[in-house]
Amino acid sequence: MRVRGVGIWVAGVCFLAALVAPLLLLGFIVVVKAFPPLIICIAFLIALTVGLWGGIYFWRLDTEAPRDEPIRFNRLRRKVYVYRFHHDGLHPFSRTT
């Protein structure tokens, strides 16, 4: 069972990780006074991309409700049931899932 609110905290960590990658690259350039090798630049670019994608994915997973799907609320158990909802992680901006 997924707890509400955890995705926002995970998204914050992902966004911070995405922010650290360019800062480390900038720090490397300032300290060494030379541009880093291509493999390090690619690694920082991948870290930035994965951090942003993960942040957007977890943010939307926790904050946005599914659209055009039947939603039922059980008053006795105080539980919400969402039927036929499948979240696609490869397309975090997609409205149709």
**Which pLDDT tens digits describe the chain residue by residue (97 residues)?**
466 778 889 899 999 989 998 898 888 889 988 888 899 889 889 999 999 999 988 888 888 766 666 677 788 887 877 666 566 666 666 665 4
pLDDT at 16: 92
Quote the CA–CA distance of 96 and 66 in Å, as a whole number. 9
Phi/psi-derived region of residue 78, left when phi > 0, alpha when psi is between -120 and 50, beta in every other case: left
pLDDT at 66: 61
Check if the beta carbon of residue 34 is closer than 8 Å to that of residue 41: no
Quote the CA–CA distance of 34 and 81 in Å, as a whole number. 56
Residues whose CB falls within 8 Å of the CB of residue 30, separated by 6 or more in sequence, listed in order: none
